[in-house]
Amino acid sequence: MRILGSGLAFLWHLGIAPFIPVKRLFARLFMERQVILRWNRRFKFIIVTPRAQLVAAGVFLLIGGWFVFTNVAAVHQRSVIAAKDREIDAGERAFAALRDEVSRSVARIENLNRNLKAKHAEVRGLFAQRIDLRKRLGSVKVELGESEKDRNDARASRELIDRELGRLRVTLDGAVKRNIRLRDAVESLETRLEDAALDRSELMAERDRLEGRERDLEKDLVDLQTSRQQVLDRLTERTVDRIDEFKEVIAMTGLDADRLLGGVFDNSAGQGGPFIAFKPETDKNEDEFDSRLAVLNGHMDRWDGLKGLLKTLPLTSPSDHYYVSSRFGKRRDPVNKKWGMHIGVDLAGLKKSPVLSTAAGTVVSVSRHPSYGRMIVIDHGLGIRTRYGHLYKILVRRGQKVGFRQKIGLMGNTGRTTGAHIHYEILVNGKPYDPLKFMQAGKYVFKG
């Protein structure tokens, strides 16, 4: 107080108030005053100097300014918390929309698979009809060959009979009856030849009709195979696009999806099996369709694996109301002020506010650590674990199954800490990763 008064007086003498009216105003407001104290018929006079009055006024102004500043800061903090609440609500709505879109996509793919199976059965029926037609055509060709052979035999017989008749006319003029019988035989043979020629014409026309029908069936089969392959190509393209989107989201966290799932996404083609000799009759288009269908099934398996991985990854924050007080990586220790490695992220907030699990899993550790304080460790599968430290209270037990965003504890400041916050870590096969990258990837997923 004495130093502050001396400082004000010094500034006054240096000419801070060079204007006479201001100096007179200060002299009038802070003039010397006397306070009279009386007790036991005794009196005592206390002189209050202008300097003391200036010091008292300055202290009062400082206290008033501090009160105004704290009120304004509290109002600002409440507005920030309200904005975070709105962001979380928007994220939850986006997550629900994404889940509905995934369900609709799965239903559409199942419908397309049923259509493909029906088309496949129809194509096999057409193949069976084609084989039957080929067999019938072969039998017709055999019958035509036999008719041609009969006609040749008839011609040879007629020539032989003509020669025999000539010889008989020269040598046996009187054998009339035999000649009549021979003529009847010749007429019968001619009738058979004419019938055979007529049958051959009808068989040729039937063969032409069957060949035309076979060409039409082959054309329809080619069109059907082309349509079926186009459907497979569209399905494969859409599935690959969704796989690329999911892998980009996982890459935002710093993880390798292929390595994490242990070879589910291995692009090398596995080969083997017994040897079967090649048959020229095998339909190449059918083999190509089966190959493309196998590729599509492989992509569908990849998509299912990535969807399961996204459900396993902790992509949300463990608190609804927080601000980041310390990031992942190199930092100055808040206690000893030395440089160190921070393998998690500190999320500060109100003491006793809820702490939520960031993904479904199993509680593998509930303990009290000298540095982490009250601590929970949750295993989410595939080598992924999350750690929650400095808790005020733990609400789960070891071995308990927890769901997504389930309340597991309350924020506190137990252990080695300077204030209420939660220390949050993400470990993949024992290696720490930056939780803020996982939260950013989660915002991308929930936004759709």
Residue 269 has pLDDT above 60, yes or no: no
Is residue 42 within a helix (H) or strand (E), and if so which, with residue range? strand 42-48
Residue 3 has pLDDT above 90, yes or no: no
Residue 127 has pLDDT above 60, yes or no: yes
CA distances to 49, 56, 66, 409 from 59, in Å = 16, 5, 11, 44
What's the pLDDT at 284?
59
* Token representation of residue 89: 């609500």
Q: Which domains does the chain have, with CATH numbers?
A: 2-80 (no CATH), 107-267+297-312 (1.10.287), 316-447 (2.70.70.10)
Angle between helices 2-14 and 50-171 (to 10 degrees): 100
Residue 351 has pLDDT above 80, yes or no: yes
Strand 42-48 with 323-326, pairing: unpaired
* Token representation of residue 95: 């997550």
What's the pLDDT at 390?
95
CA distance 289 to 287: 5
Judged by DSSP in three states, 389 sits in strand
Q: What number is the average pLDDT over the span 358-376?
A: 94
**DSSP 8-state code for residue 358:** S
What's the pLDDT at 265?
47
Q: Which residue has the higher pLDDT, 300 or 5?
A: 300
Q: What number is the average pLDDT over the span 408-435?
A: 93
What's the pLDDT at 116?
79
Task: Note whether 357 and 316 are within 8 A (CB).
Answer: no
Q: What number is the average pLDDT over the span 365-388?
A: 93
Give the highest mean pLDDT range of 47-51, 57-61, 137-141, 393-397. Answer: 393-397
Give the highest mean pLDDT range of 101-105, 172-176, 188-192. Answer: 101-105
- Residue 4 has a CB neighbour count (10 Å cut-off) of 14
Q: Which residue has the higher pLDDT, 399 or 300?
A: 399
Q: What number is the average pLDDT over the span 262-291?
A: 53
Angle between helices 50-171 and 284-312 (to 10 degrees): 160
Residue 345: exposure state from Cβ atoms within 10 A (0-12, 13-18, ≥19):
buried
Residue 397 has pLDDT above 90, yes or no: yes
What pTM, to 2 d.p., does this model score? Answer: 0.45
Residue 267 has pLDDT above 50, yes or no: no
Q: Which residue has the higher pLDDT, 203 or 332?
A: 332
Label residue 154 by pLDDT band (50, 70, 90).
low
CA distance 422 to 388: 7
Label residue 145 by pLDDT band (50, 70, 90).
confident
Lowest-confidence segment of 197-201, 263-267, 313-317 by average pLDDT: 263-267
Strand 323-326 with 384-394, pairing: unpaired
Residue 379 has pLDDT above 80, yes or no: yes
Lowest-confidence segment of 94-103, 142-151, 237-246, 267-276 by average pLDDT: 267-276
Find, among 409, 354, 357, 408, the residue nearest to 385 by Cα: 357
Label residue 18 by pLDDT band (50, 70, 90).
low
CA distance 246 to 39: 88
* Token representation of residue 68: 């105004």
Torsion of CA 11, 16, 20, 24, to 10 degrees: -50
Find, among 87, 84, 72, the residue nearest to 324 by Cα: 84
Q: What number is the average pLDDT over the span 256-262?
A: 68
Residue 109 has pLDDT above 90, yes or no: no
CA distance 384 to 428: 5
What's the pLDDT at 323?
93
Task: Note whether 352 and 442 are within 8 A (CB).
Answer: no
Residue 35 has pLDDT above 70, yes or no: yes
Q: Which residue has the higher pLDDT, 105 or 389?
A: 389
Residue 85 has pLDDT above 50, yes or no: yes
Residue 278 has pLDDT above 50, yes or no: no
- Residue 417 has a CB neighbour count (10 Å cut-off) of 19
Label residue 140 by pLDDT band (50, 70, 90).
low
Strand 354-356 with 42-48, pairing: unpaired
Q: Which residue has the higher pLDDT, 339 or 290?
A: 339
